[in-house]
Chain A
């Protein structure tokens, strides 16, 4: 039983592909653009275009397809739940009834909305995962910091925000490993996590979440002290060892994204929304 096996968000898979070699700022801006587009998409055609881009990126980045989607496994129940909710609770512009169950009615509009929302989450998750798979945390935060730098002038604590992210990402894996150990420690005392009703199972998680919570807080406390001991006083007057440089690959990637985004925007505007 290995809990960390299916955690892919935050994991970095080193490589030499073109995607790996892009400047992190290019990747961050591209993913941001994709996220904005995803929030605007209301038709299956646009999602088809997204799928093509996704396949393209996975191919170029040389990421094993199975691994790219592995992180979705723990999310599956949530996705299914979301879909079911939409199916029964959304009626929208075309309340054509599909079937009824108990006192719930499933509508055609609900069906499409369910699909669209689930697809949206799917793409959001996979593109973000691809970002962290192909970009080391260090690169990511360098890129973010560089992009947010101009905001310093209007008082946004960009360095501190980025520092928070760096640390959070580093500790996702550490805490996941701890969760694994804690679960095993309680399994060793006879807790059967795989049996019992859903409510029963949730109650069983308390002996697991409490120690994890406490551990997370302890770690945070110790980390703060260690950072202060190394003279960390926030973002001002800090320098950076590394600087980022844009290259030809970034130019090409930028062009590709501009073309893609335009295409998707056209699809969004011209194709009749499904719901």
Chain B
């Protein structure tokens, strides 16, 4: 199941004195099974773009095809589409409303009018995938959960609809380091074990580098860069100029380069940084 975007444009508050064009002529493809990261500074249009993927927003020009169905076609069943392209919002409090964890996760399948036994299966399936033990959490009050746990319930709630694509909008925001690692582990599982196409929206280059196959960088409603992590990260000056903060490890690499150390390639994570520095050092000292 893939998504094709052709010449998409969109404006908020269209037709009012406050009209603002937020997406300009965007074209891209989301391939089946890939892990795509959508990064960019705030207000770059990432969320607006992503909300076109499950028809929460409809294009003002151009078109969006999800699994070969045009979101503007009146014959397309948008409600069904939204169950296949899941969207998890940044703030789990916007989504959670039922008294218990189990009931909230069941909400999606309930809307699909599935038989009770299927719903129960889906709920416990989803809970296991996000590491919430059903025996413990099924009847837990949602207000008694920690931030990280709430986020996992929110993911489970979307997961229970069995989507083929999942859009995760800035879902590590506000989590402490451990909470963040837990969520990222869950996301990795979704991609590798459940074979769900993942679109990760983030403003952290670190996260994108760590998790994604392919990265799209947006700025002011347009696609600035697109490609594999290593290729993107070689454009450090461009990324900095559009307002993205470089990962600290890349900051270090730049400082070393300024001081004369020859580091030619781009590290994507901590281990690579260490190896890269060690390697360049030994070369610099004549030892390999």
Q: Do chains A and B touch in the complex (CB under 8 A)?
A: yes
* B residues contacting the other copy or chain, number (CB 8 A): 31
Interface string of B1-41 (1 = CB under 8 A from A): 00000000000111111000000000000000000000000
Contact of B112 among A190, A206, A210 (CB under 8 A): A190
Contact of A188 among B12, B56, B93, B112 (CB under 8 A): B56
**B89 at the binding interface (Cβ < 8 Å):** yes
Between A and B, 30 residue pairs with Cβ closer than 8 Å are A4-B13, A5-B12, A5-B14, A13-B17, A66-B15, A67-B17, A182-B94, A182-B95, A184-B56, A184-B87, A184-B89, A185-B89, A186-B95, A188-B86, A188-B88, A188-B158, A189-B83, A189-B107, A189-B157, A189-B158, A190-B83, A190-B108, A190-B112, A192-B111, A206-B97, A207-B98, A210-B97, A211-B93, A211-B95, A211-B96
**B51 at the binding interface (Cβ < 8 Å):** yes
A182 to B97, CA, bound (A): 10
Asked whether, in the complex, the Cβ of A189 is within 8 Å of the Cβ of B108, the reply is: yes
Interface string of B48-90 (1 = CB under 8 A from A): 0001001011000000000000000000000100110011110
Asked whether, in the complex, the Cβ of B95 is within 8 Å of the Cβ of A214, the reply is: no
- Give the nearest-CB partner of B78 in chain A: A192
- Give the nearest-CB partner of A208 in chain B: B97
- Give the nearest-CB partner of B96 in chain A: A211
Q: Which of B89, B93, B157 has the most CB of A within 10 A?
A: B93
**B161 at the binding interface (Cβ < 8 Å):** yes
**A2 at the binding interface (Cβ < 8 Å):** yes
Asked whether, in the complex, the Cβ of A181 is within 8 Å of the Cβ of B111, the reply is: no
**B91 at the binding interface (Cβ < 8 Å):** yes
Asked whether, in the complex, the Cβ of A189 is within 8 Å of the Cβ of B161, the reply is: yes
- Give the nearest-CB partner of B16 in chain A: A67
Asked whether, in the complex, the Cβ of A191 is within 8 Å of the Cβ of B54, the reply is: no
- Give the nearest-CB partner of A193 in chain B: B79
**A187 at the binding interface (Cβ < 8 Å):** yes
A192 to B112, CA, bound (A): 11
- Give the nearest-CB partner of B163 in chain A: A188
Residues of B within 8 A of A178 (CB): 94
A188 to B56, CA, bound (A): 8
Residues of B within 8 A of A195 (CB): 79
Given contacts A184-B56, A211-B97, are A190 and B161 in contact (CB under 8 A)? yes
Residues of A within 8 A of B93 (CB): 211, 214-215
Interface string of B100-136 (1 = CB under 8 A from A): 0000000110011000000000000000000000000
Asked whether, in the complex, the Cβ of B79 is within 8 Å of the Cβ of A185, the reply is: no
Residues of B within 8 A of A229 (CB): none
A166 to B216, CA, bound (A): 41
Contact of A211 among B15, B94, B112, B158 (CB under 8 A): B94
Interface string of B134-156 (1 = CB under 8 A from A): 00000000000000000000000
Contact of B111 among A5, A184, A190 (CB under 8 A): A190
Query: Which A residues lie at the B interface, using CB under 8 A?
Result: 1-2, 4-5, 13, 64, 66-67, 70, 178, 181-182, 184-192, 195, 206-207, 210-211, 214-215
Residues of B within 8 A of A70 (CB): 16
Residues of B within 8 A of A190 (CB): 79, 82-83, 108, 111-112, 161
Residues of B within 8 A of A186 (CB): 95
A66 to B19, CA, bound (A): 14
Given contacts A189-B161, A215-B93, are A184 and B83 in contact (CB under 8 A)? no
Q: Which of A187, A189, A210, A214 has the most CB of B within 10 A?
A: A189
Nearest-Cβ distance from residue B240 to partner chain A, whole angstroms:
30
A4 to B86, CA, bound (A): 24
A184 to B56, CA, bound (A): 7
A178 to B94, CA, bound (A): 8
Residues of A within 8 A of B96 (CB): 211
- Give the nearest-CB partner of B95 in chain A: A185
Nearest-Cβ distance from residue A208 to partner chain B, whole angstroms:
8
Residues of A within 8 A of B15 (CB): 66
Contacts A195-B79, A211-B95 supplied; 6 other A-B pairs, CB < 8 Å: A64-B16, A182-B95, A190-B79, A190-B112, A191-B111, A211-B97
Given contacts A5-B16, A64-B17, are A187 and B94 in contact (CB under 8 A)? no
Contact of B95 among A1, A189, A192 (CB under 8 A): A189
B237-285 with Cβ < 8 A to chain A:
none
Closest 4 CB pairs of A and B: A190-B111, A188-B87, A189-B108, A185-B95
Residues of B within 8 A of A185 (CB): 87, 89, 94-95
Nearest-Cβ distance from residue A152 to partner chain B, whole angstroms:
38
- Give the nearest-CB partner of A215 in chain B: B93
- Give the nearest-CB partner of B107 in chain A: A189
Nearest-Cβ distance from residue B242 to partner chain A, whole angstroms:
25
Residues of B within 8 A of A67 (CB): 16-17
A155 to B121, CA, bound (A): 63
A214 to B161, CA, bound (A): 26
- Give the nearest-CB partner of B110 in chain A: A190
